[in-house]
Chain A
C-alpha cells in the first residue's frame, strides 16, 4: 500500500544544462503532479525520481520522461516528481511548463 517510488536515469543525445537554479512547479491535485528540478552534475544525464500512489506504470514513466528529456535536450538535472495519477499528456505538459519557467 505504501507509495511507489520509481528511480531511473535518462540522457538526451545532445544534453544541455538548461536548469540553472532549482525550480518547483505544479500542485499534486487529482490527476496532476508537482516537479522539482535541480541542477546536478550527471555527465549530461537526468536523474528521475517519481513518487506515485499508482503502481504498474513504471515503463510508461520511463518512456514519457525519456521523450521529454530527448525533446527538450535537458541534461545535468535531477528531477523529482510527486504524482497523483497524472496522464502522460498532463505529465508532459507540466514538465514543459516547468522548464519554460526555468527559462523565464
Chain B
C-alpha cells in the first residue's frame, strides 16, 4: 500500500498539514510550493530564539482531484498552534493570488473548459490567528488574505476545510467564514474568540473553558452545521473530506454563491434575522438554539453517532 493510499483512511484530525494536503488530492498529483526544501523559515522567530519550521507552518501547493486543479493551503497546528506570521501569511496570499491568475488564464485560453476543469482553492485551517512573535506582520497578512478572498469571488471558489485539533479562531475565524463553502468534521471548531478568553471575559460560571463538551457545543462542527455556518459535515477521514471536495470540484462555479453565508447585502439581512433571534433568545447554551431549530432532544443529538446525527438533525432555518 502506498503512502497515499494509507493516508486515505487516516483520521484527518490526527494527520499533519502535509499529509492532509497530499491526501486530499489525487495520488501523486501534489506539487508543493515554497516547501521545506526552499527553507523559507521565519526570520522573526529566529531573532527571538524560537524554533523554526522549513515551511513556516503552512503547506501550499497545487494538486488535482479528477480533472479539477486544486490550490491547496494547509495549516500546521502543531507548529506554534498554526499561528500566521509574515512568511506563512505571504504563502497564503501568494497561493490565492496565483489561483486567481490561474483561473483567469483558463477562462481566457480555454473558453471551452468544462466546469470540473476549472480550479478551486482549498484551505485547511488549523490556527488561532495571528502569530504573536510577529504579530503586526501576521495581522497585515490576515487583511491581505481577506482582500484576496473578495478578489477571488466569481473567479475561483474558495473552500474552507476545518477538522483539525486547534480549530480555526481569531482573525482566521472570519477568514474561514468568508469563504464560499465551509466543510467541517465534528472535531473541527470555528469561531472568533477562544474558550479561555470567553471564560476570562464572562467568568467561569457563564463559560467554563475546561468543559470541552460546552466548548464543542458552542463552536464545534455539529453546532456549526445546525447553524448553517458549515455547509457540509463529513466524517473524520481524509477520504471523506476528499470525497466532498471532489463533488465540489464538479459543481458548477455559478452555484457556489448559494453556499455562502456572508458576502452580499441580502446575506447580511439574513444574518441580522439570526442576530435578532440571538437577542430574543439570550441562549444559555447552544442546545437552546438546537431546540429552537426543532431538535427535540439536543443532548441526545449531541451524543448520537455522526451518521444518526446527520439523518436526524434539523438545521436552523431563520
Contact between A and B in the complex (any CB pair below 8 Å): yes
Interface residues of A (CB under 8 A from B): 1-4, 22, 24, 27-30, 32, 34, 36, 38, 51-53, 82-85, 101, 104
For residue B56, which residue of chain A has the nearest CB? Answer: A28
B52 and A27 form a contact (CB under 8 A)? no
Point out which of B45, B51, B53 has the most chain A C-beta atoms below 10 A from its C-beta: B51
Q: Cβ of B35: which chain A residues have Cβ within 8 Å of it? A: 24
Please count the residue pairs between chain A and chain B whose beta carbons lie under 8 angstroms apart in the complex.
56
B117 at the interface (CB under 8 A from A): no
Known: A29-B78, A29-B79. A34 touches B36 (CB 8 A): yes
Query: How far, in Å, is A37 (CB) from chain B's closest CB?
Result: 11
Query: How far, in Å, is B3 (CB) from chain A's closest CB?
Result: 6
Query: How far, in Å, is B13 (CB) from chain A's closest CB?
Result: 14
Q: A82 touches which one: B47, B49, B52 (CB < 8 A)?
A: B52
Known: A3-B52, A28-B52, A53-B51. 10 other contacts (CB 8 A): A3-B45, A24-B35, A27-B16, A29-B78, A29-B79, A30-B78, A32-B78, A34-B54, A36-B54, A104-B3
B79 and A1 form a contact (CB under 8 A)? no
Q: Cβ of B218: which chain A residues have Cβ within 8 Å of it? A: none
B180 at the interface (CB under 8 A from A): no
A28 and B36 form a contact (CB under 8 A)? no
5 A–B contact pairs at CB < 8 A? A2-B46, A28-B51, A36-B36, A36-B37, A53-B50
Q: Cβ of A1: which chain B residues have Cβ within 8 Å of it? A: 47-49
Known: A24-B35, A34-B54, A82-B41. A3 touches B49 (CB 8 A): yes
For residue B53, which residue of chain A has the nearest CB? Answer: A28
B78 and A24 form a contact (CB under 8 A)? no
Query: How far, in Å, is A41 (CB) from chain B's closest CB?
Result: 18
For residue B2, which residue of chain A has the nearest CB? Answer: A104
A27 and B76 form a contact (CB under 8 A)? yes
CA distance A83 to B41 in the complex (A): 13
Query: How far, in Å, is B240 (CB) from chain A's closest CB?
Result: 23
For residue A1, which residue of chain B has the nearest CB? Answer: B49
Q: Cβ of A85: which chain B residues have Cβ within 8 Å of it? A: 51
Q: A24 touches which one: B36, B46, B49 (CB < 8 A)?
A: B36
B3 and A52 form a contact (CB under 8 A)? no
Q: Cβ of A30: which chain B residues have Cβ within 8 Å of it? A: 78
Write the B17-30 contact mask toward A (1 if CB under 8 angstroms, else 0).
10000000000000
CA distance A29 to B79 in the complex (A): 5
For residue B32, which residue of chain A has the nearest CB? Answer: A24
Q: B37 touches which one: A24, A27, A52 (CB < 8 A)?
A: A24
* CB contact list, B36-84 vs A, under 8 A: 36-37, 41, 45-54, 76, 78-79
B37 and A22 form a contact (CB under 8 A)? yes
Query: How far, in Å, is B27 (CB) from chain A's closest CB?
Result: 14
Q: Cβ of A101: which chain B residues have Cβ within 8 Å of it? A: 3
For residue B77, which residue of chain A has the nearest CB? Answer: A29
Query: How far, in Å, is A82 (CB) from chain B's closest CB?
Result: 6
B78 and A27 form a contact (CB under 8 A)? yes
A52 and B51 form a contact (CB under 8 A)? yes
For residue A83, which residue of chain B has the nearest CB? Answer: B51
Write the B258-270 contact mask toward A (1 if CB under 8 angstroms, else 0).
0000000000000
Q: Cβ of B17: which chain A residues have Cβ within 8 Å of it? A: 27
Query: How far, in Å, is B87 (CB) from chain A's closest CB?
Result: 14
For residue B47, which residue of chain A has the nearest CB? Answer: A2
For residue B37, which residue of chain A has the nearest CB? Answer: A22
Q: Cβ of B48: which chain A residues have Cβ within 8 Å of it? A: 1
